[in-house]
């Protein structure tokens, strides 16, 4: 390093400057002596001071000459002589900028570190998200597989459901058929249905206890006859006549009904109803009910009327008469007639009268009024016995 510094030095310039300075110093000294001996005065100075002035000027000239030569040959010297202050100012500014740059650099490094940390965190988060995405994709694939499996299971269940519905439908039809057969068997086995009206009797106003007892006895005989008739309809075994029918009344109920109708100020009725379904050969349990009996229709009174027009399209005489009888029943019940609790009927029409009326309607060509006329006085308990007339 020192050898390189020794070899890089401009020794020629240094020697030239030293030689020039020596020459200039010698000339200055010669001039000073010369002008001192000649006692020359400059600017009114004494010769001695004039000689010194010349020597000083010679030194100044030497310095100027040296600086000029150095400035001519060296950029650094020129810079040091003429732009040093500006350089110092610039250097200070550069130093400040350097400090700012260092601060910015440190801040940038801090931000870089933070960015690197954030980037590392982002990378970790990205890796976690990628892992989560892979897990989600795997879960989605499994869900799709499960969905396809569920769809296949659903189709299979739908198919099984259809088969089961068909089987259930067949079983339901079979069950309905069995129920109908069972009901028919029960009906064939049941001689008297529950709430069936067996008999009824009217109790005149002011009837005594003895008269009420007679009416109750007669009611019992009527009920026994009705039960025997129903058993005959159910093909009861031979010998099952009136003597084979056993009736049973609730004594407390019978006494209560008798008390209500004894010495009553108005006409009343007593009904004997089957308390439950009675099979053939079983004892007939009877329940009693009573109520006020009012005259609803006088004998010969028209109860209901309806127009029958054979000219109407689709006219059917039998259907027209059936509709007429249904309307008659509804009118009678609405006006206060008590229907049979088991059948909801208020009376009956002889089959011969029904078919004679149907044949008459079929033979007509003009509209007629079909009327139901009471054959006797009709009270609350019924029955509604009528005669059909055509007007």
Whether residue 143 is contained in a domain is answered as: no
Question: Do 327 and 357 belong together in one domain?
Answer: yes
Q: Which residues of 108-133 are buried (b: 16+ CB within 10 A; e: fewer)?
A: eeeeeeeeeeeeeeeeeeeeeeeeee
Residue 245 pLDDT class (50, 70, 90 cuts) = low
Q: Is the pLDDT of residue 240 over 50?
A: no
Number of domains in the chain: 3
Q: Are 275 and 323 in the same domain?
A: no
What integer is the mean pLDDT of 97-102? 81
- Are residues 31 and 76 located together in one domain of the fold? yes
237: pLDDT confidence band, cut at 50, 70 and 90? very low
User: Picking from 1-15, 97-111, 375-389, which range would have the lowest pLDDT averaged per residue?
Assistant: 1-15
Does any domain span residue 114?
A: no
183-204 per-position pLDDT tens digit: 554 544 566 677 778 888 888 9
- Between residues 203 and 44, which one has the greater pLDDT? 203
241 pLDDT tier (thresholds 50, 70, 90): very low
- 249 with 313, same domain? no
- 15, part of any domain: yes
Q: Which of 67, 82, 97 delimits the end of a domain?
A: 82
Residues spanned by the domain of 261? 197-293
% of the chain at pLDDT higher than 90: 0
The answer to whether residue 104 is domain-embedded is no
Average pLDDT taken over every residue of the chain: 77
List all residues 6 or more positions away from 285 whose beta carbon is below 8 Å from its beta carbon: 248, 274, 275, 276, 278
Structure confidence at residue 238 as a pLDDT band (50, 70, 90): very low
What is the per-residue pLDDT for 99? 83
Does 305 lie in the same domain as 231? no
| Shared domain check, 312 and 263 | no
Residues 261 and 230 in one domain: yes
CA geometry: angle 233, 202, 228, nearest 5 deg = 15
The pLDDT value given to residue 197: 81
Of 33, 63, 82, the one marking the end of a domain is: 82
- Please give the average per-residue pLDDT across 209-227, as a whole number: 84
Give me the count of residues in the chain: 391
Q: In this model, does residue 236 exceed pLDDT 50?
A: no
DSSP state of 300: T
107 assigned to some structural domain = no
- The continuous run of DSSP H or E covering 247 comes out as strand 247-249
Which of 66-75, 101-110, 274-283 ranks highest by mean pLDDT?
101-110
Give the pLDDT band (50/70/90) at residue 303.
confident
Q: Are residues 202 and 289 in the same domain?
A: yes
pLDDT (0 to 100) of residue 252:
87
Q: Does the pLDDT at position 176 exceed 60?
A: yes
Q: Which residue among 268, 293, 318 closes a domain?
A: 293
Average pLDDT over residues 284-310: 86
At 42 the pLDDT is 59
Indicate whether 333 and 373 sit together in one domain. yes
DSSP state of 276: S
Residues 6+ apart with CB under 8 A from 385: 347, 374, 375, 376, 378
When mean pLDDT is compared over 15-29, 70-84, 190-204, 257-271, the highest value belongs to: 257-271
Query: Rounded to whole angstroms, how far apart are CA atoms 231 and 238?
Result: 11
Q: Where are the beta strands (DSSP E) in 111-233?
A: 190-192, 197-203
Do 278 and 338 have their domain in common? no
Domain membership flag for residue 370: yes
Closest alpha carbon to 359 in 304, 351, 347: 351
Residue 58 lies in a domain: yes
Provide the pLDDT for residue 239.
40
- 288 and 331 part of one domain: no
Between residues 297 and 36, which one has the greater pLDDT? 297
Instruction: Tell me if 376 is assigned to some domain.
Output: yes
Yes or no: say if 358 and 316 are a contact pair by the CB < 8 Å rule: no
Assess whether 288 and 304 both reside in one domain. no
């Amino acid at each position: 390093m020192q050898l390189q510094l020794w070899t890089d030095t401009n020794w020629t310039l240094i020697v030239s400057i030293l030689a020039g300075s020596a020459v200039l110093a010698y000339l200055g000294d010669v001039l000073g002596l010369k002008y001192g001996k000649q006692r020359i005065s400059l600017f009114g100075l004494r010769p001695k001071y004039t000689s010194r002035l010349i020597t000083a000027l010679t030194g100044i000239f030497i310095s100027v000459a040296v600086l000029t030569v150095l400035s001519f040959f060296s950029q650094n010297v020129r810079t040091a002589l003429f732009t040093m202050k500006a350089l110092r100012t610039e250097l200070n500014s550069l130093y400040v900028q350097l400090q700012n740059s260092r601060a910015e650099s440190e801040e940038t490094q801090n931000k870089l570190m933070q960015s690197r940390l954030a980037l590392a965190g982002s990378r970790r988060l990205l890796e976690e998200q990628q892992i989560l995405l892979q897990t989600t994709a795997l879960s989605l694939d499994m869900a799709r597989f499960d969905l396809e499996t569920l769809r296949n299971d659903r189709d299979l269940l739908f198919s099984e459901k259809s088969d089961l519905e068909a089987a259930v439908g067949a079983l339901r039809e079979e069950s309905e058929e069995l129920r109908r057969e069972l009901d028919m068997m029960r009906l064939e086995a049941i001689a008297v249905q529950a709430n069936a009206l067996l008999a009824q009797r009217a109790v005149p106003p002011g009837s005594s206890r003895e008269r009420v007892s007679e009416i109750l006895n007669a009611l019992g005989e009527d009920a026994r006859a009705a039960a025997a008739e129903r058993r005959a309809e159910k093909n009861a075994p031979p010998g099952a006549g009136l003597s084979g029918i056993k009736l049973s009344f609730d004594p407390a109920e019978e006494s209560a009904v008798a008390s209500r109708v004894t010495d009553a100020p108005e006409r009343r009725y007593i009904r004997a109803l089957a308390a439950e379904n009675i099979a053939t050969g079983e004892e007939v349990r009877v329940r009693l009910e009573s109520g006020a009996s009012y005259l609803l229709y006088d004998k010969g009174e028209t109860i209901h009327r309806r127009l029958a027009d054979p000219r109407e399209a689709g006219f059917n005489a039998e259907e027209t008469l059936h509709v007429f009888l249904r309307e008659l029943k509804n009118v009678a019940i609405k006006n206060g007639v008590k229907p049979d609790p088991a059948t909801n009927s208020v009376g009956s029409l002889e089959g011969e009268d029904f078919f004679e009326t149907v044949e008459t309607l079929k033979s007509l060509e003009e509209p007629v009024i079909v009327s139901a006329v009471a054959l006797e006085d009709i009270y609350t308990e019924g029955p509604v016995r009528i005669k059909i007339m055509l007007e």
